Structure 1
Amino acid sequence: MNNIYLPEASEILSVEKVTPIEWLFRVKFDKKVKSGQFIQISIPKVGEAPISIANFNEREGWIDFLIRKVGKVTDEIFNKQAGEKLFLRGPYGNGFSIENFENKHLVIVAGGSGVAPVRPIIEHFYENREKLKSFRMIAGFKDLESVIFKDDFTRWRKKIDVLVTLDKACSLEGICDGLVTKYIPETILPADLIDVEYIIVGPPVMMKFSCQEVLRRGLSKEQIWVSFERKMSCAVGKCGHCKIDETYICLEGPVFRYDFAEKLLD
């Protein structure tokens, strides 16, 4: 009988410092994954933590995690180097359906580390730009030091209409000041909104008000997708830590369509 809680050791391929408290770990991984899912990463005798998948390549056999140093598990992970092991179990949860966005106008609104779970989608359509009618992105950060994936943004701008905003004013070229909600009303959309889809990922408050701005533009709740994580511990619907009413985020999410997610954004 298989033990659903038993992780497998995976080799760290590379470690990249993204910000002072957020590092990108690339780890060997040979299982099929989906954009928007998450993995439970553990350190024996220390604990485990749910981490969103920040990119993956099934052909080459690797997976990326953007990990923020915020507690004892992540503190210990930050001591790891390329060639050492992390223990993984998963993937878990429902992710984004890439096919749902094909041949449509896609707008991604991401706040802070919320860029990580949508990074696989961005990379997919960056490489397959012809599969979208248009592609726009608004990414918001607290300040310049907290901007993640700076090199990726530079590259993405070659094929994607990208706007990066900071909560605090900034005079650098290509970076605007203000919250992401300030720029949602300015996003250019086709007159016929039927083929427009929004993906909104970030802190709960940011997602709530961003969704409200999108709805004011005349889109329906069925055209908005969100992703969020609560305190997920077991990842298999047993502990109840992530449960909101009767919904287990680890099983039914973390990706939801907004007509369902609206009541979950607490």
Structure 2
Amino acid sequence: MMLRGGLVFMSDTRTNAGLDNISTFKKMKIWEEPGERVLTLMSAGNLATTQAVVSLLDERSKLPEDRTPSLMKAPSMFQAACMVGDTLREVIKGLREGGQRADSGFDATLILGGQIAGSAPRLFLIYPEGNFIEAGEDTPFFQIGEIKYGRPILVRAYDPDLTFASAMKLLLVSFDSTLKANLSVGAPLDYFCYDVDSLKAEHIGRVEADNQQFQTISTQWGNALKQALDTLPDVALNTD
């Protein structure tokens, strides 16, 4: 999510290969060179694909500059997004050419956001084909994975002037709606709030399922919805 004050990221940690094979994996990766750049990548889709992409990007970021392109040397966020898209396409192509047949099963979608010194923060949604779109005034936030349950809340309540505290509250309400409707999404929830022009990774944390603040927000939101429904005018039924 893009705000005037920076960027806010939140991801769940549940992965599953059927109801009897549910695991917890971190879906958010942060690269930081304090004072020079901060980049954040979030993933949804095939776990083997997303882990391979993150591992490749991480390994290449530690190699000498003349060996291979690196996120830590990319001159702009646009070039970083191109690099991530190319890596995603490379991994998916390798899996498909490795004798596997379920092509769609290798797909993954990524969100890349951050800031490089000398330019403004930017946010990108990267598709399995490696192409991407950028967030802007008309599309100030991106979702990947299971989006339909939490999206209406974001569409109604998003405001670019939200504080980080208010944005966190909004995202928790959005995730709460998804958690209650879909078993493929689950806590704990990882988050990162990035202050514009800070060029350092602060405000990083994890919200566990039993977090008291999260539970209070969930309960009060549910009660508020019921109260709001009660205040709406009754619908006249046709008696013919």
Instruction: Provide TM-score, normalisation by structure 1.
Output: 0.26
Which structure's relative contact order is higher, taking Cα pairs within 8 Å and 6+ residues apart? Answer: 2
Taking structure 2 as the reference length, the TM-score comes to: 0.28
Higher helix share: 2
Larger Rg: 2
Higher share of residues assigned strand = 1
